[in-house]
C-alpha cells in the first residue's frame, strides 16, 4: 500500500496544486493530511475545499483550530496572530464546524499520525530535542504503531528510536520493522528548512521506504496574493527564503 502525507499547507494554493498533481502521478492508495490547512496564506477557504474534495483523512493543526477559536492565539507571534484573525473572517460557519470536528491523531495498520507530537497532541508542541522525540516514541508505541508521521515544524526529518536516538535529513528513509521511526513530512505551503520547494512524504509499506518529495511552485503568485489581501509582508517574503 502506498500512502501520501501532506500538511502545513497554510492557505498556499499554488503549492498545494503542484503537490496534489505530484501525488496523483504516484498513484497512491491513501492520502492523509497532517493539519494546518489554513493560516499565513491568502487562500485558506480554497485550500480547505481542495482538501475536502479529496475525501481524504485529515487531522487538526494548531492554525486550523486557531481559526475557529478552539485554541488560543495568545502564544502566536504578531504575524501569525494577524493571519489567524484574518483567516477567521474568510471561512464559512460550515467550514468552521468541519474544522472543529477534526481529530488530533489517527492510527492505521501501518502507522499513526499527529500534527505536533504524539505524547501531547492537544498542546501542539514541537519535536526539537531527543527528549521530545523519546516522549513521542513512547506514546507512539502505546498507540500500537512503530511508524509515525508528523508536521508542525515545517522541517522534513526522520527520527529513529535507537540508543541513543538518531535522526536523518535524507530524502529517502528506510523503514526497519525492528525500530520505531517518526517522520516529519515537511510543509507544503511554508517550508522552513531553507529549501523553498513544497514538501510532502510518500510511504510504501511493501518497499519499506519513506520518501520526502520536493516540488517547485509559483512562489511569486502565492506571495503576491498575500500582499494583495493585506497580510504582513514577512509572510510573503519568507516563502522565497524557505524559513
What pLDDT, on a 0 to 100 scale, did the predictor assign at position 16?
98
**Do the Cβ atoms of 16 and 188 come closer than 8 Å?**
yes
pLDDT in tens, 52-97: 999 999 999 999 999 999 999 998 999 999 999 999 999 999 999 9
CATH of the domain at 140: 3.60.21.10
User: In the prediction, which pLDDT does 131 show?
Assistant: 84
CA distance 34 to 38: 12
* Segment 182-192 mean pLDDT: 97
Mean pLDDT of 125-143: 91
The cell for 109 is: 495498520
Give this prediction's pTM. 0.96
Look at residue 185 and tell me whether its pLDDT is greater than 90: yes
pLDDT in tens, 222-235: 999 999 999 999 99
pLDDT at 130 over 90: no
Q: Look up the domain containing 223 and give its range.
A: 2-241
Query: Between these two residues, 132 and 200, which has the higher pLDDT value?
Result: 200
Number of domains comprising the chain: 1
Q: How confident is the model at residue 129 (pLDDT cuts 50, 70, 90)?
A: confident
Report the mean per-residue pLDDT for the chain. Answer: 96
Q: Which of 196, 199, 191 is nearest to 218 (CA)?
A: 196
Predicted pLDDT of residue 188: 98
Distances (CA, A) of 10 to 83, 104, 144, 148: 10, 17, 30, 22
Of the listed ranges 20-29, 61-70, 128-137, 222-231, the one predicted with least confidence: 128-137
Amino acid at each position: 500500500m502506498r500512502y501520501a502525507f501532506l500538511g502545513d499547507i497554510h492557505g498556499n494554493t499554488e503549492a498545494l496544486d503542484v503537490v496534489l498533481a505530484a501525488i496523483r502521478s504516484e498513484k497512491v492508495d491513501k492520502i492523509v493530511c497532517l493539519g494546518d490547512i489554513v493560516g499565513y496564506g491568502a487562500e485558506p477557504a480554497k485550500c480547505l475545499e481542495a482538501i475536502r474534495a479529496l475525501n481524504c483523512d485529515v487531522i487538526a493543526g494548531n492554525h486550523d483550530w486557531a481559526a475557529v477559536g478552539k485554541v488560543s492565539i495568545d502564544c502566536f507571534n504578531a504575524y501569525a496572530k494577524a493571519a489567524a484573525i484574518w483567516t477567521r473572517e474568510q471561512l464559512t460557519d460550515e467550514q468552521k464546524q468541519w474544522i472543529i470536528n477534526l481529530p488530533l491523531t489517527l492510527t492505521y495498520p501501518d502507522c499513526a499520525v499527529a500534527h505536533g507530537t504524539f505524547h501531547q497532541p492537544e498542546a501542539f508542541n514541537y519535536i526539537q530535542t531527543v527528549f521530545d522525540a523519546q516522549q513521542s516514541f513512547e506514546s507512539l508505541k502505546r498507540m500500537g504503531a512503530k511508524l509515525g508521521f508528523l508536521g508542525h515544524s515545517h522541517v522534513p526529518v526522520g527520527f529513529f528510536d535507537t540508543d541513543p536516538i538518531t535522526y536523518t535529513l535524507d530524502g529517502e528513509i528506510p523503514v526497519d520493522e525492528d525500530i520505531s521511526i517518526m517522520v516529519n513530512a515537511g510543509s507544503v505551503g511554508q517550508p522552513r528548512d531553507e529549501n523553498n520547494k513544497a514538501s510532502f512524504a510518500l510511504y510504501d509499506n511493501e518497499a519499506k521506504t519513506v520518501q520526502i518529495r520536493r516540488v517547485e511552485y509559483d512562489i511569486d503568485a502565492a506571495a503576491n496574493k498575500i500582499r494583495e489581501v493585506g497580510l504582513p509582508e514577512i509572510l510573503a517574503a519568507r516563502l522565497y527564503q524557505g524559513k
